[in-house]
Chains A and B, each alone.
Chain A
Amino acid sequence: MHKFREVFFEYVFMFSAGISILALVMIFVFLFANGMPAVAEVGPINFIFGTEWRPMDATPSFGVLPMIAASIYITLGAIVIGVPVGIFTAVFLAHMCPKWLYAFLKPTVNLLAGIPSVVYGFFGIVIIVPFVREISLALTGGGSGSSMLAAMILLGIMILPTIVNISESAIRAVPESYYEGSLALGASHTRSVFSVVLPAAKSGIFASVILGVGRAVGETMAVVMVAGNQARMPESIFRGARALTSNIVIEMSYAEAGLHRDSLIATGIVLLVFIFIINVAFTIVTRKSRGT
């Protein structure tokens, strides 16, 4: 009886562990089974490199290149905005922050991490979009503000906590002796931190950037709310564009069963491929850091 219970539970545990694998397989199966027929019908080349997305036309076209381009541009913009601020903030938290301030700043960063994307999106609508509209009017004489730039700024803020928290632990993981050795050689505090500690934490910081990229590529609601969502090749950061994630949310609610709906699921597959590439990059980077 006792023996039976031991063995029984071991199988229960093993079965539970298998669920994760099963779930992942099911995600791939359901997305590919429902999305690939659309890719085949449109033609993989036409689907991925087609620059026209007109699902409702009499002769519809299903090219996702505009969305791929928009996702890449918006992510790059978010990285340009978020990464420097994030890394410097991480340095600050790890090496320059007075204790009393740390006790306030750290929970603040964690709160930033916990705010739901819809709240960010709403903040984007009421603050960032009007702000970008002003700039856009001044510089180009037009533009509604709902634009790639608005999405870049918003995502730059949203990836901050990821960059800050992971970079901070990477910086803290550098042995104290590196810093002390540098001081002993006569380098100043600032110089020791930036020329000795920071390079040693390089791979951890890089990993935080990759995670930030993953978050930015996958973010849906906040981007939908501020990016304008026009399905055309991105022209300027002051004009609207539609990200891969947005394409799904916007059209899934009214897409009729058939090619249109399946092509949205295929958009999900493209997104999944992106995330897969990012994951592989992340694994390579973190492996490297463990090796050295």
Chain B
Amino acid sequence: MRKIIDTTLFALTWIFAAITLLVLLFIVAHIVINGVPHLDARLFEFAFTTENVSMMPALVSTIFMVVLTLLIALPLGIFTSIYLVEYVKKGNKFVMLIRSATEMLAGIPSIVYGLFGMLMFGQFFGFGWSLIAGVLTLGIMILPVIIRTTEEALKSVSDGYREGGYALGAGKLRVVFRIVLPSAVPGILAGVILAIGRIIGESAALIFTAGTMPQIPETLGHSARTLSVHMWVLSSEAHHTGEAYATAVVLLLLILVVNTAAAVVAKFFITK
């Protein structure tokens, strides 16, 4: 009897692991097989028309979105972590409050971020559907990711480094910027990569903030659609299935690059 249970559990483990693997391989294979044949030059023309349904403007908008969002969230996130790790004592009320707030922020669904961004940045600040409204919304959304990973990275810097700095007569600020932060770079980078993945994949938070304009935005005030939003628009129109497959291939490729970068950084971090 015991033997039977053992064998069953053993078999189930292999079967379920196989299911996980097969499901993913199937998704990726299906998209690549159906998408690659549709990847032609007209999808990469710089101007979007209803004829070429080019994804190039969306690709450019995605890059804008990633860079600008990081520009806002990265300093804020890093400064927050520095404050949490280097400046305040454990058990401080303010720290507990910040920690609960970031945990809560991390759990809020992206559509709620979208609503909030629309109400605050779009309407209250009057930015309307614009790149800047999208950037600010996503900036808040990825803040918890940056804070958490940077905090871990700062904590893992050995205290000996800090003490060595102080012993040499450096002030706190100098120790933080010259000694602690550089040693924490790989960890912070891992957080950045995670955040990039999130920005690329985001759509629900952007539809009502950055909007769905299919052209390259000329200013921060222009509406812009990222690649994920572009994919959503295409897949809701029945006659663009081929282009949707092609866009999915490009998105998969981007995520693969992001994941590989994360793995490389992690490896570098450990072996160093």
Contacts and interface: CB of A to CB of B under 8 A. Distances in A.
B101 A96 contact: no
Interface stretch (A49-57, A116-124, A134-142, A199-207): A116-124
A279 to B, nearest CB: 5
B110 A27 contact: no
B241 A126 contact: yes
A183 interface: no
A126 B241 CA distance: 9
A248 B24 contact: no
In which size bucket is the chain B interface? 35 or more
A17 B113 CA distance: 19
Given A21-B101, A85-B19, A115 B228 contact: no
Contacts of A16: 75-76, 79-80, 83
Given A17-B84, A84-B16, A119-B252, A114 B259 contact: yes
Contacts of B204: 117, 220-221, 245, 249
Contact of A6 (B172, B255, B256): B172
Contact of B17 (A18, A88, A115, A275): A88
Given A6-B171, A249-B111, A13 B79 contact: yes
Contacts of A34: 119
Interface stretch (B4-12, B39-47, B155-163, B214-222): B4-12
Nearest to B77: A16
Contact of A114 (B82, B172, B231, B255): B255
User: Which secondary structure characterizes the binding site on chain A?
Assistant: helix
A252 B208 contact: yes
Contacts of A271: 109, 111-112
Contact of A93 (B17, B76, B256): B17
B165 interface: no
A58 interface: no
A45 interface: no
A225 interface: yes
Interface residues of A, number: 81
B104 A279 contact: yes
B28 A127 contact: no
B144 to A, nearest CB: 8
Interface stretch (A59-67, A173-181, A211-219, A231-239): A211-219
Interface stretch (A72-80, A102-110, A144-152): A102-110
A164 B21 CA distance: 12
B231 A23 contact: no
Contacts of A24: 101, 104-105
A249 B120 CA distance: 17
B14 interface: yes
Question: Most chain-B CB neighbours within 10 Å: which of A108, A111, A114, A116?
Answer: A116
Contact of A190 (B10, B75, B256): B10
A17 B107 contact: no
B252 to A, nearest CB: 7
Contacts of B82: 13
User: Which secondary structure characterizes the binding site on chain B?
Assistant: helix
B183 interface: no
A166 interface: no
A26 B16 contact: no
Contacts of B83: 10, 13-14, 16-17
Interface string B97-129: 110011111011111111110111000100000
A245 B203 CA distance: 13
A85 B18 CA distance: 9
B111 to A, nearest CB: 4
Contact of B173 (A6, A108, A120, A194): A6
Contacts of A96: 10, 13-14, 17
A12 interface: yes
B235 A121 contact: yes
22 contacts: A9-B173, A10-B83, A14-B87, A89-B16, A89-B20, A91-B13, A105-B20, A108-B24, A109-B24, A111-B24, A111-B255, A112-B27, A116-B200, A116-B202, A116-B228, A123-B30, A123-B31, A214-B107, A248-B114, A249-B204, A268-B115, A271-B111
Given A119-B31, A126-B34, 10 more contacts: A16-B80, A19-B143, A96-B13, A112-B23, A118-B201, A118-B203, A248-B115, A249-B111, A282-B107, A283-B103
In order of increasing CB-CB distance, the 5 nearest A-B pairs are: A218-B109, A116-B201, A16-B79, A88-B16, A13-B83
Interface of A: 2, 5-6, 9-10, 12-14, 16-21, 23-24, 26-27, 30-31, 34, 84-86, 88-89, 91-93, 96-97, 105, 107-112, 114-123, 125-127, 157, 160, 164, 188, 190-191, 194, 214, 217-221, 225, 245, 248-249, 252-253, 264-265, 268, 271-272, 275-276, 278-279, 282-283
